[in-house]
Each structure stands twice: as C-alpha cells, then as structure tokens.
Structure 1
C-alpha cells in the first residue's frame, strides 16, 4: 500500500510541475516598428491625386514609418486584450512657394487578439483595434491639429520565442502594413 501511495504522490507532483511549465504567461509588452502606416498611404495618394487637382506638384516625400509600443493581457489561452501606442512623421516638399508640409501623428489603440495556434515558443494570431490619433501639421507659419479615429486590422501575425521573442504582424492601419519588433512575456 505504501508503494502505491508513493507512486500516486510522485505522479501528482510530476503532473503539477508539467502543468506549471506549460502555463502561459499572463502579460506581454512589446516595442516595434511599422512599415507604411495608413497615414503614409494617405500622403502618397494625396500627392498623386489631390495635389495634382489643386495644381501643386510634389518634389519629394519622406516618412519615418511608425514606432510602436504595446501591452496585452491574456484573458485565456486564445484571447487577449491590450493597448498599442504609435508615433510617426512625414515631410512633403512641393515645387511652389507655399512651403513644405510637415506633419506628425501619435495615438493609441485598444485591441483584441485571437490566437490561432498557441504553443510555448510559437504563436500564430490575428488582432484588431480601434482608438484615437492626433495629427499635427505645419506648413511655413501655419499650424493645424486635428483628431481622427485610428484603427488596425491584422489578420496574420506570428511570434517566436519563449519569454523574449520576436514578432511580425501583417495588416492595414496606423501600425503599418508590416509591424516587426521584440516582445517580453511577463
């Protein structure tokens, strides 16, 4: 009888240790960089279509992309909620005397993430978010600011790594069509 109790106790201890090893971390923080965010797409379209209609010719346009930081909290193995912040700027030079247009945008998104596959080192997921963006524009001495709805739709994303990992998110919105970075599970 003592042998059976001993085997049962050892088995239970082993199962508990195994369960703790596979337990998902509760939170994650991340920093990243987004390529071609929606605000830069708007600038490119505006250059070709709208400025042409107004008679303004674009000489040069450059943007920084979007710098991002975020935090998320797991609700269960598949679903998490979080917040993402972003910042980017762009400069458009025109071939006229009205001057260059320089703008920056910053804001935040509340998001929800769904994991298609959630292994210890590999995670495939999608996410979507809505929030607020603040635009600041300067052209010569004129300054303008306005707010807008910010959004991000990311149907395909991947994260690789255990506690520290790298990620790539592919979608459309204020975080860019491709957002890559480093994340830390807490």
Structure 2
C-alpha cells in the first residue's frame, strides 16, 4: 500500500477536489439532497466550516476550515463518501479490486487537497470554485448554477449577482494548476 503525503495543519483551511469514479455520470447533482444530507450529518458529528463549495455532476470543489485542534479532514471525506455510496442504489460497475475490498465504485479513491496559505490563496481558490460551473460550460454566469456557495456570498452582499460576468475578475487565471 502506497502512503500519500497530505498536508496536515490543525485548524487549517483546505481546498479539495473530489471526483466520482465515472466522470460521465451525473450522480452528484442527480442526488444533491442525499449529498447535502451526508455532508450535514458528518459536519454535525465532526464540525468544520464550509467556506465555499460547488457541486457539479461528476465532481465537487470545497474549502473547509477545521477546528483549532483538528486536522482530520481525511476521515470526514471518508465518512461523507461512504455514507453517500451506501445510500445510492447499486448501479455502477465495480472492479474486482474494489469488490475484494468491499468497496463500491462510486468515488475515485483519491482526491486533491491543498492547504490554503494566505488570504490571496484563499480568494483565488474561492473564485475558482465559484467560476467552475462556467468553466465547464454548464452556465454563462456563476450565479446561474444552483449548487454553489456563491448564492450565500451574493445574499450577504460580498459579491454582486453578475460577478465574473461583469469583468471585475481575471478568469484567465482559473486554469488547472
């Protein structure tokens, strides 16, 4: 078994990209209420703050801040993914490797995590999250995508409803890094 080096800072703020296994599927938006319930359940038992989040049909991006003495984001993701998978009807193809481990074939095993280093890094990743539905061609304006924390930011007056469409940000910096 290969061990992966992950950032680990108690109380840290992290950016995540988490993908479903079949990137042509639309499980996350088809079952958005189930995903929300799974996240809320884990969040209630193992608190963390969701600073930003967007859910697309086949992947999601999130920024979480963990409690001061806690760096266990991996266990939270494992619980969310496990709960979501168990509550879905079995329709996916499950590889022999996953079958031997008793796993479903819903999620990719690994995910991307990045420890946010400063306010500029945080702002860049929040912008990336909120612009992502436009990047993938689902909508023309980020505020048109229903599964995004951008609505909370608009409601609180932190950004305008036409953010990104108004040209106030440089969207050319939103390439994959």
Q: What is the TM-score when the length of structure 2 is the normalising length?
A: 0.25
Structure showing greater radius of gyration is 1
The structure that is helix-richer by fraction is 2
The structure that is strand-richer by fraction is 1
- Which has the bigger relative contact order, CA under 8 A and spacing at least 6? 2
Q: What is the TM-score when the length of structure 1 is the normalising length?
A: 0.24
